[in-house]
Amino acid sequence: MGKKATTVEEQITTLKKRGMLFDCGEEKAKEILLDIGYYRLGFYWFPFEIDKDHNFAEGTIFSNVINLYYLDVDLRNILLKYLKRIEVNFRTKLIYYVSNKYKEDPIWYSNPKIMARWFITDLDKKLYTSKFKEENKQIKLHHLKYRNHIYAPTWKTFEFLTFGAIVTIFNAVKDEDLKKDISKIYGLNNLNTFKNFIHSIKFIRNICAHAGVVFDLNFPQGIYKIPRTRFNNNNNQSLDAGIKTMSFILQNISLDRKNDMNKEISDLFAEYKNNEIIKAIIITKIGYNM
């Protein structure tokens, strides 16, 4: 495709020239292209391309591109549900344990004795901004009621922060022993391993939350070894490694939720057990052992 906009008819012509077979019919393909979009679907026919000219492998059918797209959508929705559970739990644990360690300071996240200098320096610039105070109703009401307060209490403020911000705050807490205590709650004695796990989970969450492609997700830095768990093919960068990381953290929150997530994912992949093309992508791209 060039840099000019094209019609769905032109898009189909281009795909046909590259070797795409429209087993669902061209009229249905037009409907799908107008629904999902040519550019977004490009992420899902990429695995079928065989050269730099974007030609497709012989026998590539449009329905498998759509199957892969909906596999990705369904998988992303499953992950988001359990990522939210982890996010809420981690936020709660951070608020509870640090706030109880520093009971006399309800806004400990602004205290340079408790927090790293780099975080304090950026607090008003990147986190507790005028926009943050204006857009979050409870924070806005707090400052209307308590006009002399520079910040709202931790337990109120943190409810309106992103998971990324919560992870950043955890990293910025100076008390390493306190952070180790929190990591032990999740079954990890090694703080660096816990940080790696939480950052990996944040990475998955950011992609899922922005409707990104997850089936070929790779962790640039890799995931540390999970206790009593092996990565398939020793691949610590695959989405499957991320799923196993989520599973490990979830089991220390709720064993039922861990089992629920793994069953939902297993059931989803089982829907494609008779589709050798999609099954191969699940095994090779996601890293999941079917």
CB 174 within 8 A of CB 114: yes
CB 82 within 8 A of CB 250: yes
Domain boundaries, position 17:
8-60
Q: Is the dihedral of CA 251, 257, 260, 262 positive or negative?
A: negative
Select from 164, 167, 166, 141 the least CA-distant residue to 152.
141
Residues contacting residue 261 through CB under 8 Å, at least 6 positions apart: 78, 81, 82, 246, 247, 250
Number of structural domains, the chain? 2
Q: What is the mean pLDDT of residues 8-23?
A: 97
Residue-by-residue DSSP string for 87-101: HHHHHHHHHHHHHHH
Give ∠ CA 171-218-53 in degrees, rounded to 5. Answer: 140
Domain boundary among 60, 81, 101: 60
285 — pLDDT class (breaks 50, 70, 90)? very high
CB 153 within 8 A of CB 195: no
Domain boundary among 60, 84, 101: 60
Q: Are residues 132 and 162 located together in one domain of the fold?
A: yes
Q: Are residues 121 and 218 located together in one domain of the fold?
A: yes
Q: Report the amino acid identity of residue 253.
A: I
Q: Are residues 39 and 74 located together in one domain of the fold?
A: no
Q: What is the mean pLDDT of residues 45-63?
A: 96
pLDDT of residue 290: 82
Q: Are residues 120 and 264 located together in one domain of the fold?
A: yes
Q: What is the mean pLDDT of residues 49-57?
A: 96
| 228-264 residues labelled b (16+ CB within 10 A) or e (exposed) | eeebeeeebbbbbbbbbbbbbbbbebeeebbebbbeb
**pLDDT above 70 for 59:** yes
The span from the CA of 113 to the CA of 175, in Å, is 10
- Phi-psi map region of 59: left, alpha, beta (phi>0 left; psi -120 to 50 alpha): left
**pLDDT above 70 for 247:** yes
**pLDDT above 70 for 1:** no
Select from 270, 181, 287 the least CA-distant residue to 232.
287
Select from 152, 162, 167 the least CA-distant residue to 197.
167
Percent of the chain residues past pLDDT 90, beyond the cut: 97
pLDDT of residue 267: 98
Coil vs helix vs strand at 19: coil
For 175-202, what is each residue's pLDDT tens digit? Answer: 999 999 999 999 999 999 999 999 999 9
For residue 75, is it within any domain? yes
pLDDT of residue 4: 87
Q: In a 10 Å sphere around its CB, with 0-12 CB exposed, 13-18 middle and 19+ buried, how is residue 136 labelled?
A: middle
Q: Are residues 141 and 162 located together in one domain of the fold?
A: yes
Q: Are residues 88 and 161 located together in one domain of the fold?
A: yes
The span from the CA of 23 to the CA of 184, in Å, is 53
Mean pLDDT of the chain: 96
Q: Are residues 114 and 55 located together in one domain of the fold?
A: no
Q: Are residues 14 and 103 located together in one domain of the fold?
A: no
CB 248 within 8 A of CB 231: no
pLDDT of residue 2: 54
Domain boundary among 60, 82, 100: 60
For 259-269, what is each residue's pLDDT tens digit? Answer: 999 999 999 99
211 — pLDDT class (breaks 50, 70, 90)? very high
CB 71 within 8 A of CB 268: yes
pLDDT of residue 191: 97
pLDDT of residue 3: 77
**pLDDT above 50 for 159:** yes
Q: Are residues 52 and 79 located together in one domain of the fold?
A: no
For residue 31, is it within any domain? yes
Q: Are residues 141 and 23 located together in one domain of the fold?
A: no
